[in-house]
Structures are given as structure tokens and as C-alpha cells.
Amino acid sequence: MTDTKAPELQLQAVAQSTYECLRCAFCYDLSWLGSTNLCPSYTWGSFESYGGRGRVALARALLEGELEYDESLIPRIFACTECRACAEHCFKYIDTVKVYDRMRQDMAVRGLIPPELKIAVDQLVASHNLYGKPHEKRLSWLKDRSRVDQPAPVAFFVGCTPSYVRRSLAEDFYSVLDSSDLDFTVLSDEWCCGHPFLAAGQTERAAEVMSHNVEALQDLGVEQLIFECPGCMRTFREDIPAVLGEPLPFEVLHITEAIAEFVEEGRLQFSIYQPGTVVTYHDPCTLGRGLGIYDAPRAIIAAMPGMRLQEMPRHGRDAYCCGAGSFVRYDYASLTDQTGVERFWEAAATGAQLLLTSCPACVTQFQNVRAALDSPLQVMDLISLVKQVARWK
Ligand code: SF4
Ligand code: SF4
């Protein structure tokens, strides 16, 4: 039988936030801005308890003992892509996602985790990747091993999705960095960043993998860590210091920031991809609202000759999620599918020939949606495009 009598609520740490809520509904209803709803979970679930205001109300009821954690709350807490649209638009600046994270932790200690997510994170313990693939194959996409495990001031953190299921992305990212004059390394013993454990509310397991990665990078003298996956980067920048209780011993940088800097310094220029190409850019939730990186990808696109950026109505801090966040596909595939299709149609309606983004999960999601819809709109990671048109000085 499930134990629902755990002694202490992690929610207590964010209790104040739940009392600050005005119940204004700005976190899920933006019709006053002339925008549509930005919460994929509420759009999918239809009940208020799937949106920010409802979840915060649930948290308050749990704190006041009017409600207890049980199975009925599992989708209310976990069917959320953690896209941060609610936190971004909260009238009281409540970090709503922190409230959800605490609820996930409380649910996890009570054994209340969605079944497929539980299987995925259990296998992650042994394989160090979310796909259950052999750890020793993590770098099998990399032919030239000369940089592997070499002491260097910069390291490239590859992440699980490019390492195992989108290896062409790993090759593209590596190739772009290799063409620059960066002295960088990659780890042969890189483990998953730990984000899936946090999504499942399992902080202790996350701490173990975080310590492993930080120590391995420190051993190589790394001072700066470059990412393409925004989820990995946010885990390092925000979650590792919080979970391990100490500052990160190196800087973190997204690859679009590094590329934008090369462009600004005049070290990187671009040839024409296809004359007159119209592109649209999808802000990955974690790169945009999670890390505040909106300008670097746009600066790169602006530097590409013969290319015109046509923004979607919902972009920047108002971007709509692709549907792939926080591993919801494992248990709530229809949420992922419905959200992905809605966002893909929004991209197609711009008239663009190319949908660019900068996140392995978003690229994978949109490539799957494109295939399902048989759409002529091409999908590409921005760095893969950079690789095709780069002219290094
Ligand atoms: S994080 Fe995104 S999906 Fe989750 S409640 Fe907030 S707006 Fe909805
Ligand atoms: S926007 Fe913030 S204050 Fe308003 S209902 Fe949502 S969580 Fe509460």
C-alpha cells in the first residue's frame, strides 16, 4: 500500500509563495493581452488544476491539511512541461515552477510517480542515460578521439539526446566547436545531467550524478562548460548549486552565445544558405524563459546573408512550448502531441521554409510532428545550419 504519511512536506519551503497568490489567473489566461493561453497543460487538461493558479491552490490546500497527496494528483502535478510560461507571467512574480518541483518531491517520497517516468529514471541509475542504452556507447558518434578526456579550459557537455538518439546533432555541434580555435574537451564518462531525476522529484539521485559530472570536469581543469541542450545547461546553472549547496566551479555558456560572440568579433561569417530563405525561430522554453537567452540565436540568424526571420505571434518570453518538456511524453503522450502540433502549425503559418530552434528535445519533437503531418516546412537546429554555412576567418 502507498504510504501517504511522510512526516514533512517539502512544500513548506515555498509556503509563502502559495499565500502570495492573488488568484488573478494571469498565469494561464492571457486573453487580456490579446494572446491565447500559453499553458499547454491547461489547454490539454481543461481543468483549472492543470494550470498555474489551480496548482498553487492545490499546494495551499496540501499545506493547510485540506488535501492529502494521492494518485488523483499525479497528472495534476506531473502533466506539466515546466515551460515556465506561468512563472514568467505571474502578476506576483511567484516562481510557480519551484512550487511544482516541491510537490514533485513530496509525491516522489510517497511513491506517487507516473509509471513510465518511474521506469525511465530507474533505468537511468544503471545506464546513466534516459534511453537505457549502454554507457560505453555514449561517444560512439565521435570518430576523432583526440580531445576526449584531455585537460582543457573548455568542455562541451553533449547530453543524452544528441549522444544516443540524435547523433547527427552531436556531430554538428562538435564540428562547429572543432572549427573554432577553442581548446575544448569532452568526457568519455559523462553522465546524464540529472534533470530527469529532478523531474521525478528524486533529489538524492540527482545529487549523485551532479557530483560525478562536476568532479570529472574539475579533474580536467575545466573553467567553462558549453552546452547545446538548454535543459542540461539550466540543470548545471540553477539546479546543481541548489542541490549540492555550493557554487558551480566553472562558467556555463550556451553554444549560441559562443557562436554569436564569434560573429561579433568577425571570426565567423556565413555564406548564403539558399537565396531568399524565410525562417522562423522557436524559442526553446528552457533556453528562453529558463535561461534568458533570446538575442544570441537571433543575432546569428541576422548575420546570415539572404535570410529573413519571420517571428511567430508567440515568441520570446511569450513563446508557446513545443510539448516535449519535463519528459511528459512518457506518461502523457497526447499532451506532447497536441502541443507540438499546435506550435508547428503556428510556425508553418508564418510562411517560413525553415523552422529553426536550438534544443535537441525541440528539434526531435518538431521533426516527429513534421513527419506525422507530412509538412514541407523543414526543421533544423540552428547550429546544424551554422555548420553548413560557416566561413571561419
Ligand atoms: S510550467 Fe508551463 S505547462 Fe506547467 S503549469 Fe506553467 S505554463 Fe502550464
Ligand atoms: S498569476 Fe500568479 S498570482 Fe495570479 S493566479 Fe497565477 S500564480 Fe496566482
pLDDT block averages, 10 residues each, the chain of length 393:
60 95 89 76 93 96 95 96 96 96 94 93 92 94 96 98 95 96 96 93 94 97 97 96 96 98 97 96 98 98 97 94 94 97 97 98 97 97 97 93
Residues with CB under 6 A from ligand 2: 21-27, 52-53, 56, 90-92, 94, 96
The SS3 of residue 290 is helix
**Ligand 1 centroid from CA 360, angstroms:** 20
Ligand 1 near 335 CB (within 6 A): no
**Ligand 1 centroid from CA 275, angstroms:** 39
pLDDT on residue 31: 73
pLDDT on residue 35: 64
Ligand 2, atom 3, lies closest to the CA of 21
Residues spanned by the domain of 329: 266-392
Nearest partner of 309 among 318, 319, 298, judged by Cα? 298
Contact 191, 142 (CB under 8 A): no
Q: Does one domain contain both 72 and 124?
A: no
pLDDT on residue 191: 97
Which domain CATH number covers 45?
1.10.1060.10
Alpha-carbon distances, residue 330 vs 196, 231, 359 (angstroms): 12, 17, 19
- From the CA of 59, the nearest ligand is 2
55: in domain: yes
Q: Does one domain contain both 156 and 246?
A: yes
Q: Does one domain contain both 237 and 155?
A: yes
pLDDT on residue 28: 86
350: in domain: yes
What's the CA gap between 230 and 236, in Å, rounded? 10
273 Cβ contact partners less than 8 Å away, ≥ 6 residues apart: 304, 306, 307, 385, 388, 389
Q: Does one domain contain both 154 and 202?
A: yes
Q: Does one domain contain both 132 and 219?
A: yes
DSSP, res 186: B
Residue among 29, 38, 41, 102 whose CB has most ligand 1 atoms within 8 A, to mutate? 41
pLDDT on residue 32: 67
pLDDT on residue 224: 98
**Secondary structure in 3-state letters for 367-390:** HHHHHHHCCCCEEEEHHHHHHHHE
3: in domain: no
Q: Does one domain contain both 124 and 97?
A: no
Ligand 2, atom 4, lies closest to the CA of 24
Ligand 1 near 390 CB (within 6 A): no
Q: Does one domain contain both 78 and 143?
A: no
Beta strands (DSSP E) in the chain are: 154-157, 184-185, 224-227, 251-254, 268-270, 277-281, 307-309, 354-357, 378-381, 390-392
Ligand 1, atom 7, lies closest to the CA of 39
pLDDT on residue 30: 75
What's the CA gap between 189 and 138, in Å, rounded? 8
**What single letter denotes the amino acid at residue 233?**
M
Angle formed at CA 326 by CA 39 and CA 102, multiple of 5 degrees: 85
pLDDT on residue 34: 65
Contact 300, 380 (CB under 8 A): no
**Ligand 2 centroid from CA 74, angstroms:** 21
Q: Does one domain contain both 127 and 48?
A: no
Ligand 1 near 39 CB (within 6 A): yes
Ligand 2, atom 5, lies closest to the CA of 23
Q: Does one domain contain both 99 and 131?
A: no
pLDDT on residue 7: 53
5: in domain: no
- Among 206, 238, 259, the domain boundary falls at 259
Domain count across the chain = 3
